[in-house]
Amino acid sequence: MTIRARLLIVIPLLVLAANAMIFFLFRSSTLVQGGYDRMLNRILAYKQAVQASDQSLQSLYDYLLDPGPELKAEMTRRSDALRRSGESLRQLGQPPAIVPQATGYMHLIDTLADQERYAAEASATPKEALERYESAEKTADFIREEGQRLVDIDLGVDQPILREIQQENKRMTRLGIAVVAVQTALGVCLALWVSRSVTEPVGRLVRLARHVSEGGTPKELYGAQAQAEAQARAKDELGILTEAFLQMIASLNEAAVRDKERLERERFVKELELRALQGQIQPHFLFNSLNVLSKLALLEGAERTSDLIVSMSRLIRYRLRKLDEPVTLRDELDHVREYAAIQQARFGSLVRFETKIDEAALTAKLPALTVQPLVENAFVHGIADMEAGAEIRLAVVREGSDAVIEVSDNGAGMDEATRRALLRLDYEPAEASREEEKRSESASMSAGLGTRNVFRRLQLFTGRSDAVEIRSAPGQGTTFKIRIPMTFKEEPVDVPLVDRG
């Protein structure tokens, strides 16, 4: 039930109940009052009839003593008044219990009126008139007697009922007080209930909002959230509000996670750039020197040396590229070849470097210096200790929408722990660099940025966790498998690019 509906039901119901009670009280008091009024009116009417009969009889007597038009008019007036009093009695009506007696009374009045008229008609003969007057007088006596009796009967009939009504009224008043008391209590409870249904969820929302804005501990936040979630299940306005609020928090959290990831990537790229900058001067100097050396070697007729120096210089040039800009697989593979040429010059026939390239996959884009470090790793760690028969294989194939690059050697291989460590996803720059230092000490050779770096970059680049696969066992050689999508989705990177020209 919505809060609005609750209010719309509760308030009119309470008002209705109160009004109904007032109406009932008013109505019953009106009824009782009406009963009293009618009874009083009836009693007055009985008495009035008695009075009218006496007066009409008196005026008849006066007329009979002195028959004249004036007194006759007076007598007629009185007689009419008597008939009217009977008529008014008839109109008032009586309670069922006294209808027979009242009917008799009305008949008495009629009889008297008739007798009076009869007597008046005989006014010419006084003796006859007096006789008739006497019978009218008798009837008037009856009227007096019956009038009193009717009053007594009416009171006798009505009194017990009125007393009972009074008692009922008293009971009703007591009940009314109880009803008002209970109704007030109910009203207060309902008011509290409705207001609680507003203030409680609002309070909870406020707490939750405070937690969110102050960045409270996750535990607190979780508690408040759980309460709010329970609240959200209520189907009122505040439930809906809470639900919306919770959704907002959820999307806020999501956005925060995305933000954190992006920040990490940016920081990572920055770090790489910093490293690159550190090594900037040296490569430039080296690059220039190498050009001079290659020319000199050519002049001195050492063509092979010159070629190697050229390869060397290309290698360096490639490495001076912007690291966050993806390159085509073709460029990366060219670079690998230059590197392999130099390495082969070193190892000679000790190492066999084989490539098997699927041209269709060469357009795929990937971060620069991702395949070369793997090949370098194979040269430096994989087969370094082998006396003969070392083999390094580079294979590129297209698998559906992916390009798959495999770098394998048949060298020392690695144990499971090392393999796991390499694949560890979370990146700790400080630790990584320390490891790198250690490794560079132990391996004596520059291992570039390290394979782990490569993996991390590939994962960030492709956004998938299956980008890198390592198959290896001690003494069984190592195979790195990289999987990159053929189509590269450019993601905006708002890191200011540093020109390292």
Closest CB 63 distance from another protein, rounded Å: 21
User: From residue 181, how far is each of 178, 188, 391 by CA, in Å?
Assistant: 5, 11, 99
CA distance 497 to 273: 9
The residue from 8, 15, 34, 251 that contacts another protein (CB under 8 A) is 34
Residues 176-215 as x/- pattern, contact with another protein by CB under 8 A = x-xx--xx-xx--xx--x--x-------------------
Taking CB under 8 A as the rule, does residue 32 contact another protein?
A: yes
Residue 175 in the binding site for another protein (CB under 8 A):
yes
Using the minimum distance from each CB to another protein, give the nearer residue, 57 or 269.
57
Residue 392 near residue 378 (C-beta atoms within 8 A): yes
Among positions 169, 305, 355, 363, the unique one binding another protein when judged by CB under 8 A: 169
Dihedral angle over CA of 96, 98, 100, 103, nearest 10: -100
Cβ neighbours of 377 (radius 10 Å): 21
Of residues 48 and 479, the one with the C-beta less far from another protein: 48
- 35 touches another protein (CB under 8 A): yes
Residue 100 binds another protein, judged by CB under 8 A: yes
- Least Å distance, CB 10 to another protein, is 10
**Residue 48 and residue 33: Cα distance in Å, rounded?**
22
Residue with Cβ nearer another protein (108 or 364): 108
Are 160 and 77 a contacting pair, CB within 8 Å? no
| DSSP assignment letter at 6 | H
Only one of the segments 49-57, 68-76, 87-95, 349-357 lies at the binding site for another protein (rule: CB under 8 A); that segment is 87-95
Please report whether residue 139 would count as binding another protein according to CB under 8 A.
yes
Task: Closer to another protein by CB, 183 or 433: give it.
Answer: 183
Binding segment (CB under 8 A) for another protein, from list 171-179, 203-211, 284-292, 484-492:
171-179
339 within 8 A of 375, measured Cβ to Cβ: yes
SS (H, E, C) 87-136: HHHHHHCCCHHHHHHHHHHHHHHHHHHHHHHHHHHCCCCHHHHHHHHHHH
Instruction: Of 179, 232, 197, give the one whose Cα is nearest residue 7.
Output: 197
Q: What's the number of CA atoms in the CB half-sphere (13 Å) around residue 263?
A: 6
Applying CB under 8 A, among 146, 273, 332, 338 the residue interacting with another protein is 146
Task: Of 46, 34, 48, give the one whose Cα is nearest residue 153.
Answer: 46
For residue 26 the two structure tokens come to 């008013």
- Quick one: which segment of 32-40, 70-78, 267-275, 391-399 binds another protein (CB under 8 A)? 32-40
Residue 17 binding another protein, by CB under 8 A = yes
Tokens standing for 1? 């039930």
Which CB atom, from 112 or from 375, has the smaller least distance to another protein? 112
Which element (helix H / strand E) includes 478?
Answer: strand 478-485
Residues 411-430 within binding reach of another protein (CB under 8 A)? none
From candidates 7, 21, 130, 386, binder to another protein by CB under 8 A = 21
First and final CA of the chain: distance in angstroms? Answer: 70
Q: Of the two residues 114 and 237, which places its CB atom closer to another protein in the complex? A: 114
**How wide is the angle at C-alpha 457 spanned by C-alphas 456 and 459, nearest 5°?**
65
* Cα distance between residue 224 and residue 213, in whole Å: 13
- Beta carbon of residue 118, minimum distance to another protein (angstroms, whole number): 12
- Shortest Cβ distance from residue 160 to another protein (Å)? 10
Which structure tokens are listed for 53?
Answer: 């009969």
With respect to another protein, which residue has the nearer C-beta, 176 or 216? 176
> In the complex, which residues of this chain contact another protein (CB under 8 A)?
17, 20-21, 24-25, 27-28, 31-32, 34-35, 38-39, 42, 90-96, 99-101, 103-105, 107-108, 110-112, 138-139, 142, 145-146, 158, 161-162, 164-165, 168-169, 171-172, 175-176, 178-179, 182-183, 185-186, 189-190, 193, 196
